[in-house]
Chain A
Amino acid sequence: MTNEAQQNREATLNPDGSVIKADEIRKLYGDVPAVDGISFAVEPGETYGLLGPNGAGKTTTMRMLAGLSPANSGAITVSGIDVVKDNRAVREVMGVVTQHDGLDGGLTVFQNLFLHGFLAGLSRKDSKNRAHEVLEFFGLRDRSKANVYELSGGMKRRLAIARSMMTSPSVIVMDEPSTGLDPQSRNRVWEELAVLKDAGVTVLLSTHYMEEATILCDRLSIMDNGKILDEGTPDQMIERHAPKEVAQLRVSPVSIRTVRGYLTEQNITFREVGALISVTGVNGDRPDLSGLNDVEGVRTSYRAGNLEDVFLAITGRELRDG
């Protein structure tokens, strides 16, 4: 890792001290609101997440903030720039990682970076130097001459992130940075994002992975159906909405009816996620499952409440339902 790769421009702040500010923004597709009047602000150096299922309006929100899609109403300010009035200026200061990598298959890895930097306004020389730096930083130097379609999914995503760093932006928006990646690649992406955060880069990301939101985000909003339902740090959100503990029962198929019957009889609410039955006690206390001790093929474990539980509590739906 080179030091240069971490030296990003200092963020210009909005009048209220934030870097990104969305105020009652709304976006309609036909008559259907994709984003329905949401407001939030991202502070300098902060990693802020929009957590919600597919179709919640996260991508539309990111595109509006990045000046790629006009809002129907509301105000967006990024680094003091009125995005509604001047969407070109915001694209000068902001790095953007789009959802589908958007790599250019007609070019090599290096050319993808170099030409993006040139298009963004760097001189040829600066763009070349910078491309070498970010390749080094993202561990892609030995793939420099490769065709992009030869790269693994994880490398493609890291290249897309590397590309957004070409102009050393102080603020980056990332649409689902680790969607579709295997766990190992995901960890690698998370590590690199942590380094960017250390370098003081302000990051707005969208995700439908609660692990990602928990690990990366200082603060987050829970989004559903184009609206923000609640906002806070991951801990605050969990404290506010999630049970302290959730019992998870792994039940063999022969006993599943017995278990369902018992829980229903005892008036214990439960939900089945895949092969797991999750049980939450009343008022967050540990539920009484002693009646299941004698049932064959039931394994019980307990885990702490998490952002999935928060989402369920707020929306009544699973985050992964999509």
Chain B
Amino acid sequence: MSLAIPTPGIRRRSVTGLWLRHAVSFVRYWKFVITWVLIEPVIILVAVGFGVGKLIDEVDGAPSYAEFVTPGLIMGNAMFHALFETSWNAYNRIDNDVYETALTTPITITEITMGDILWAVTRSIMTVVGTATVAALFGWLNHWEAIGIIIPAIMVGITFGALGFLFSAVAPHTTFLTLVFTLVASPMFFFSGSFFPISILPDWVEPVAWFMPLTSAVHIARGFALADLNITHLWAALYMIALTAVIWPVAIYLLRRRLIK
């Protein structure tokens, strides 16, 4: 079987239908979900911005540490949400036959990934908008260009939404999914330039850090946050797009292998 199995067109209803399912479920549990959209990132922002920030005077081109760290934290948090949606949540949907049931309607595996990734993007945008608003109130986002952070937010939703499927589609049990956090989320959260510029890392680590897609997302977000955009931000965006173009078809292939027996 080849990796890219052609799909006979995309049925829009499949994608909106699945997205609506997630939205309805989200609204049902909004009291719980609101905590991860708003409260959790605010805690991190306050701790790192007010706490750690007080100890650090100067950092790579940013007026203050809080302003440096804000776009990094926002992107890191968006990554967690996108990954969680298509790893843990998608695994539960596999395990509880939610996809199996969906497949009895005229939906394809490709459309399932599209609907879920669209929801991962939605989650990413919600958390980014919430956290960025709070950061702006604290005075840590000071340029109107910061609105552009919505662009890397969307990209994080897509790239990490696709990436999460690589785990849920092959996971034999939920314990396996902890690998998403030990292998992907944690290293990226700490080594993609969120907390410190990766240029201060040892020479051999720096290229590894650039290989991580979150590094690109943080770089782009910081460009918007500090209103300092140049050609490197375009390269970062192209890298994320290229990486997604590889990951997504693999995710579709793995999910098809799992669901279409």
Within 8 A of B (CB), among A186-208: none
Q: How far is the CB of B173 from chain A (nearest CB, A)?
A: 18
90-109 of chain A: CB within 8 A of chain B: 91-92, 94-96, 98, 100-108
Residues of A within 8 Å of B105, CB to CB, are 91, 116, 119-121
Q: State whether A163 and B101 are in contact (beta carbons under 8 Å apart), knowing that A88-B106, A89-B106, A119-B107 are contacts in the complex.
A: yes
Contact A88–B108 (Cβ < 8 Å): yes
B-contact bits for A31-58, CB 8 A (1 contact / 0 none): 0000000000000000000000000000
Number of A-B contacts (CB under 8 A): 80
Which of B13-21, B116-124, B145-153, B157-165 touches A? B13-21
B261 touches A115 (CB 8 A): no
Flag whether A233 is at the interface (Cβ < 8 A).
no
Q: Does B28 contact A (CB under 8 A)?
A: yes
Residue B96 at the chain A interface, CB threshold 8 Å? yes
Interface of A is mostly: mixed
A202 to chain B, nearest CB (A): 16
CB closest chain-A residue, reference B107 = A119
- Contact at B17–A91, with CB atoms within 8 Å? no
A106, B101: Cβ atoms closer than 8 Å:
no
Contact B20 A118 (CB under 8 A): yes
Whether B13 pairs with A107 at a CB distance below 8 angstroms is: no
| Interface check B2, CB cutoff 8 A | no
Considering the chains assembled together, what is the distance between the CA atoms of A108 and B24 in angstroms? 10
How many residues on A have C-beta within 8 angstroms of the other chain's C-beta atoms? 33
Nearest CB to that of B7 among chain A residues?
A88
Interface presence of B97 (CB below 8 A): yes
Total interface residues in chain B, CB < 8 Å = 26
A116 to B24, CA, bound (A): 12
Is A91's CB under 8 angstroms from B103's CB? Answer: yes
Q: Are A69 and B96 in contact (CB under 8 A)?
A: no
Residue A66 is within 8 A (CB to CB) of chain B in the complex: yes
Taking CB atoms, residues of chain B closer than 8 Å to A91 are 103-107
Q: How far is the CA of A95 from the CA of B106 in the complex (A)?
A: 11
Q: In the bound complex, how far is the Cα of B15 from the Cα of A15, in angstroms?
A: 34
Q: Across the interface, do B20 and A116 meet the contact criterion of CB distance under 8 Å?
A: no
B58 within 8 A of A: no
B8 contacts the other chain (Cβ, under 8 Å)? yes
B 218-261 binary contact with A (CB < 8 Å = 1; else 0): 00000000000000000000000000000000000000000011
- Contact yes or no, B103 A70, CB < 8 A: no
Contacting pair A101 B260 (CB below 8 A): no
Within 8 A of A (CB), among B14-70: 14, 17-18, 20-21, 24-25, 28-29
Would you list 11 pairs from A and B whose C-beta atoms are within 8 A, ordered by A residue?
A66-B104, A69-B260, A88-B8, A89-B106, A91-B105, A91-B106, A102-B100, A106-B28, A111-B28, A115-B21, A121-B13
Check A69 against B261 for contact (C-beta < 8 Å): yes
* Chain A residues whose CB sits within 8 angstroms of the CB of B104 once the complex forms: 66, 68, 91, 94-96, 98, 164
Query: Which chain A positions have C-beta within 8 A of B20?
Result: 115, 118
The 3 A-B residue pairs whose C-beta atoms are closest, nearest first, are A119-B17, A102-B97, A102-B101
Indicate which residue in A69, A88, A103, A104 contacts B21 across the interface (CB closer than 8 Å).
A104
Known: A69-B260, A116-B105, A119-B107. A106 touches B14 (CB 8 A): no
In the complex, what's the smallest C-beta–C-beta distance from B36 to chain A, in angstroms? 16
